[in-house]
Structure 1
Amino acid sequence: MKTAFWWSPRRMVRLLWPEVRQSSRAWLSLRITGGRVLRNFGDELAPHLFEAATGESLRWAPPSHAAIITVGSIIDLYAYHAQGASVWGAGLRRLPASPGEGRALRARLGRCYAVRGPLTREALGLSDECILGDPGILAPEILQGEVPLPTGRPLVIPHYRAWGSRQGRVVIKEFMRAGFDVVGPNQDPVNIVRHIRNASAVFGSSLHAIIVADAFGVPASLTTFAEKAPLGEPNFKYRDYFQSVGAMPEWLSWRDVIYDYDGAVESIRTVSDIRFNALVALREGLKTSARSVLTGAESEQ
């Protein structure tokens, strides 16, 4: 079983304390909705996605003991704590300040089998042949064989930080009052994938909510939970994923989604289809790269 690092502050004290200081209000508010504190569904999909691609499990490990880093904007974080792990589908959180910083980050990584998107690939100075794709595009394979149970209802999945601000919590309540299903990202990750597959449309500031919706061909859009988007998250990671599927991130106002739902869905249907068709073309390369991680095959550097 391969060891892998993904963002998980409940497993790593050096991540726990900064998260408690910065986002304790968000996690406390989320806890009321159920689920686990300090669990973020996109990151926790890592072992499920790798197993779907390879048939082999992953075991979480701290950076110093991880053979792989995967899923999420964690390359910068990993490079701060350790070096030498291979990369499968992870991305940078922010654009390096200079090409030299990008090269320094690359020097701390092992083989790069795949990265999330073209911005990460370019910033690290990787070859254009380096495979692109967030592992979340493989989400349908987690539920392979299950019968879909469409709800016919729209789903809202905010980034967990939305629960940390008063305005974010007000907007979440507005969605609930309007009859939208709202799911916290601290719920069981596979169950969240099911919720997304069964929804009529998905709106949220959680990047992996959009990625998983794209993977199932469910109309989806980034959505504000404040007057300024994104709420506490760098735009780089959104641009990185969206450019991997031939698009640019566009944010709908929460007001437009609630008060003109039909218009909002119609406005995103075509671009959602474009992203779906683009990511289908990435899947086989991403699965092949995962199998190469297991065998230690040479990768594009």
Structure 2
Amino acid sequence: MAVDIVHWNPRKPRIRGPLGWLLPKYPPVNNFGDLLGPPIVREMLRRRGLDYEKASSEGRLVAVGSIMRMARDGDVVWGTGVNGKSTALPHEFSNLDVRAVRGPLTAQFLRDRGIDVPDVYGDPGLLVGWLWPRESFDGTMKRRALTVIPNLHDVDRYKDHPGFWHPCSPLSQTIARIATSDFVVGSSLHAVVLADSFGIGSRLIRSAHEPPFKYEDYYRGTGRASFKMASDVDEALAMGGEELPGWSPDELVRAFPWDLWSLTEPNRNLW
């Protein structure tokens, strides 16, 4: 038996209309923030000596990303958030097993729909710096003073900047690029999340395409309701880094659905 780790990585049709779904499609989007869920879950299990392929029951785990709309009845939710672009759209669930969510805005969204949500907040991307310490990336890439990672839909605005890094670059390379940077800016939420996980200064730039909902959700979930967005790279540099989160991984780790792999009492010394 196996647990399906739900994540967003579609292959879009090359032409519109019904025929587009029959013809060969574009390669998967591979937006790095949406690919983080499976490797984080697998590494969490590996550290406890558990095999991802040997779950105690079949099911779906919705983890990492603004993908709450992909949830179905009976799914387990761990650290997922709502996308501000979908708050007015139908969400096809009425019964979720919520262990943690990204932040209080997502929590309230679910509670308004009758879903029980614990007060456990945090994007699992924050665990990257604990699972793969920054020091482990020394020598993997040239150290950079600045990395600019925009949201997928903001790429054209920043692609000519000398510090630009494409959010659809290979996941391992993107993590290494962030880990070997001194300062990270951009409208990619997970660029900021991973910078926070490594203790690297970062500044969020306002997206031209993404509502502020998911950013506010994340920052409030890490105790930083007074965060400020920059309007562009120059302003981000002038503002300097946002306050690092006063956040511990303990609650999020304890909230991990270990029971899906038959472990009811996780070792507190996971790290």
So what's the TM-score if we normalise by structure 1? 0.69
* Matching residue of 2:74: 84
* Matching residue of 2:64: 71
User: In structure 1, which of residues 152, 156, 163 is the aligned counterpart of residue 148 of structure 2?
Assistant: 156
The gaps in structure 1 that reach 5 residues or longer are 11-15, 22-30, 60-64, 224-228
Structure 2 residue identity aligned to 1:5: V
Contact 1:41–1:186, Cα closer than 8 Å, also in 2: yes
Q: Structure 1 stretches (4+) deviating beyond 4 angstroms?
A: 56-59, 95-98
Seen in structure 2, the aligned counterparts of structure 1 residues 130 and 184 have a Cα distance that, compared at 3 Å, is same
In the TM superposition, 1:98-247 aligns within 5 A as 107-109=94-96, 111-125=97-111, 129-144=118-133, 146-149=136-139, 151-163=143-155, 168-169=156-157, 171-173=158-160, 175-176=161-162, 180=163, 182-223=164-205, 229-247=206-224
Structure 2 residue identity aligned to 1:41: F
* Matching residue of 2:22: none
* Matching residue of 2:39: 48
Report 1 or 2 for greater relative contact order, CA contacts < 8 Å, sequence distance ≥ 6: 1
Q: Deviations over 1:102-128 (max 9, x none)?
A: xx766142x111111111112211567
Q: How many residues align?
A: 239
Shift of 1:67: 1.4
More displaced, 201-210 or 123-132?
123-132
CA distance in 1, matches of 2:116, 2:73: 20
CA distance in 1, matches of 2:194, 2:203: 12
Seen in structure 2, the aligned counterparts of structure 1 residues 128 and 87 have a Cα distance that, compared at 3 Å, is closer
User: In structure 2, which of residues 228, 250, 260 is the aligned counterpart of residue 284 of structure 1?
Assistant: 250
Contact 1:217–1:272, Cα closer than 8 Å, also in 2: no
Shift of 1:212: 0.4
CA distance in 2, matches of 1:58, 1:40: 23
Shift of 1:154: 0.6
Q: Residue 114 of structure 1 aligns to a residue in which SS? A: strand
User: In structure 2, which of residues 248, 261, 267 is the aligned counterpart of residue 294 of structure 1?
Assistant: 261
Q: Deviations over 1:61-96 (max 9, x none)?
A: xxxx851111111112x14xx422111111111384
Shift of 1:143: 2.2
Q: Deviations over 1:177-218 (max 9, x none)?
A: xxx2x2111111122111111101000110000000011110
CA distance in 2, matches of 1:243, 1:236: 11
So what's the TM-score if we normalise by structure 2? 0.76
Structure 2 residue identity aligned to 1:74: I
Contact 1:4–1:58, Cα closer than 8 Å, also in 2: no
Structure 1 residue identity aligned to 2:239: A
The gaps in structure 2 that reach 5 residues or longer are 17-25, 266-271
CA distance in 2, matches of 1:238, 1:143: 24
Contact 2:63–2:80, Cα closer than 8 Å, also in 1: yes
Contact 1:54–1:287, Cα closer than 8 Å, also in 2: no
In the TM superposition, 1:9-24 aligns within 5 A as 9-10=10-11, 16-17=12-13
Shift of 1:253: 2.5
